[in-house]
Amino acid sequence: MASDISHTTSDKTSEIESSGTIISIDQMHKWFDDFHVLKDINLEVRRGERIVICGPSGSGKSTLIRCINRLEQHQQGNIVVDGTELTHDLKNIEIIRSEVGMVFQQFNLFPHLTVLENVCLAPIWVRKMPKIEAEEAAMQYLERVQIPEQAHKFPGQLSGGQQQRVAIARALCMKPKIMLFDEPTSALDPEMIKEVLDVMIELAESGMTMLVVTHEMGFATRVAHRVIFMDGGEIIEQNTPTDFFENPQHDRTKLFLSQILHH
Ligand X SMILES: Nc1ncnc2c1ncn2[C@@H]1O[C@H](COP(=O)(O)OP(=O)(O)OP(=O)(O)O)[C@@H](O)[C@H]1O
Residue type at position 151? A
Question: Rounded to 5 degrees, what are φ and ψ at 24?
Answer: -135, 120
69 near ligand X, rule: CB under 6 A: no
Q: How far is the CB of 30 from ligand X (least distance, A)?
A: 9
Indicate whether 170 belongs to the interface with other proteins (CB under 8 A).
yes
* Shortest reach from residue 125's CB to ligand X, in Å: 27
Determine which residue in the list 15, 85, 94, 143 makes contact with other proteins, applying CB under 8 A: 94
The residues, any chain, with a CB within 8 Å of residue 210's CB and separated by 6 or more, are 49, 50, 51, 178, 179, 180, 181, 200, 203, 204, 223
Residues 28-57 touching ligand X, rule: CB under 6 A, are 32, 35, 37, 55, 57
Decide: is 253 part of the binding site for ligand X (CB under 6 A): no
- Which residues from 117-136 bind other proteins, rule CB under 8 A? 121-122, 125-126
**Among the residue ranges 43-51, 103-111, 158-166, 246-254, the one whose residues contact other proteins (CB under 8 A):** 103-111
For Mg ion, the closer CB: 62 or 163: 62
**In this structure, which amino acid lies at residue 130?**
P
Instruction: Please tell me whether residue 163 binds other proteins under the rule CB under 8 A.
Output: no
Q: Contact region for other proteins (CB under 8 A) — 4-12, 26-34, 98-106, 204-212?
A: 98-106
Q: Which is nearer to ligand X, 20 or 58 (CB)?
A: 58
Binding to Mg ion (CB under 5 A) within 31-70 occurs at 62
Binds 37, which of other proteins, Mg ion, ligand X, none (CB < 5 to 8 A, cut-off by type)? ligand X
Q: Closest approach of Cβ 172 to ligand X, in Å?
A: 23
Nearest to 30 by CA among 65, 69, 74, 72: 74
Site for other proteins in 51-90 (CB under 8 A): 69-71, 90
Given the rule CB under 8 A, which residues bind other proteins? 69-71, 90, 94, 97-98, 100-102, 104, 106, 108-112, 121-122, 125-126, 154, 156-157, 170-171, 174
